[in-house]
Chain A
């Protein structure tokens, strides 16, 4: 299957890089982009992506609160939190918002995407 991905980040440089990673990764397709937590939640409602790559620090409600909303309303959509912080420096809510995993932005590549998706759908990565 092709994993349909929504990218939520207010930083254009990273959105550009993530776009290139998704374009080069077989079986992953970028279906939409958001630049705030509110926009991400709304786009999940209309696009119904399989996976959301969600920046933690965004204008408005931010990525953690948006992830909580998505996990509650669209449990079939998996959300991966992204930031430039070390995992141990993340706010405690990051562990309890319903995110599938946390990924440091600099580690985003095709292998990381496949690994993250395999955590949710162990059979689909094989």
Chain B
């Protein structure tokens, strides 16, 4: 039991580190690049304003585009860290948002989903996000079903054509007495709901 707990804690730490690296990459490759381009274009616009006003104006328009792109990159990253839809409008809307944002088409059937404790909604959502990304990398379309049944919250995400990697959110699910079962390119997440 102590070994299981130690292994679980190690996985939690590894998952947190992986998430930090992923956020650093997203900051570097996303918002930072737009901000750098903005700084360079703004400086250049100032340098050429006297001699080439038309080019300066074009560069100012580039600056505005860079600023908008940086804002969108920040918004996307913030939503990935914790989607505002989840606490505001609940799991069902957040899952629909995640399905719409997936890199491949998602056939989503989300029905009978209520509001639940924040930890339950977060565990279900982040499990789903991780599975959507894993399956989207292995398939041309994804099936997502979410429903409540016999005091449990169930999610099925599937159609992968190759084996799925271990789910980083598995320990988050286990902390709630839940689990994820993977078979035939399909993952089933089950979370017991407090009565």
In the bound complex, do residue B69 and residue A13 qualify as a contact, i.e. CB atoms below 8 Å apart? yes
Which residues of the partner chain B approach A16 to less than 8 Å between Cβ atoms? 37, 62
- Report the interface size for chain B: residues with CB under 8 A from the other chain: 21
Contact indicator A24/B37 (Cβ below 8 Å)? no
- Are B40 and A17 in touch, CB under 8 angstroms? yes
Query: Cβ of A84 and Cβ of B47 under 8 Å apart?
Result: no
Interface membership of A21, Cβ < 8 A: yes
- Is the Cβ of B47 less than 8 Å from the Cβ of A24? yes
B43, A109: Cβ atoms under 8 Å? Answer: yes
Q: Are A11 and B29 in contact (CB under 8 A)?
A: yes
Q: Name the prevailing secondary structure of the B interface residues.
A: helix
User: From DSSP, what is the main secondary structure of chain A's interface residues?
Assistant: helix
Assess whether B41 is in contact with A17, with CB atoms less than 8 Å apart: yes
Check: B64 CB closer than 8 A to any chain A CB: no
Set of chain B residues within 8 Å of A11, measured between Cβ atoms: 29, 33
Partner of B28, one of A20, A57, A106: A57
Q: How far is B43's CA from A18's CA once the two chains are assembled, in angstroms?
A: 12
Question: CB distance B47 to A110 under 8 Å?
Answer: yes
A106→B39 contact, CB < 8 A: yes
Interface residue? A108 (CB, 8 A): yes
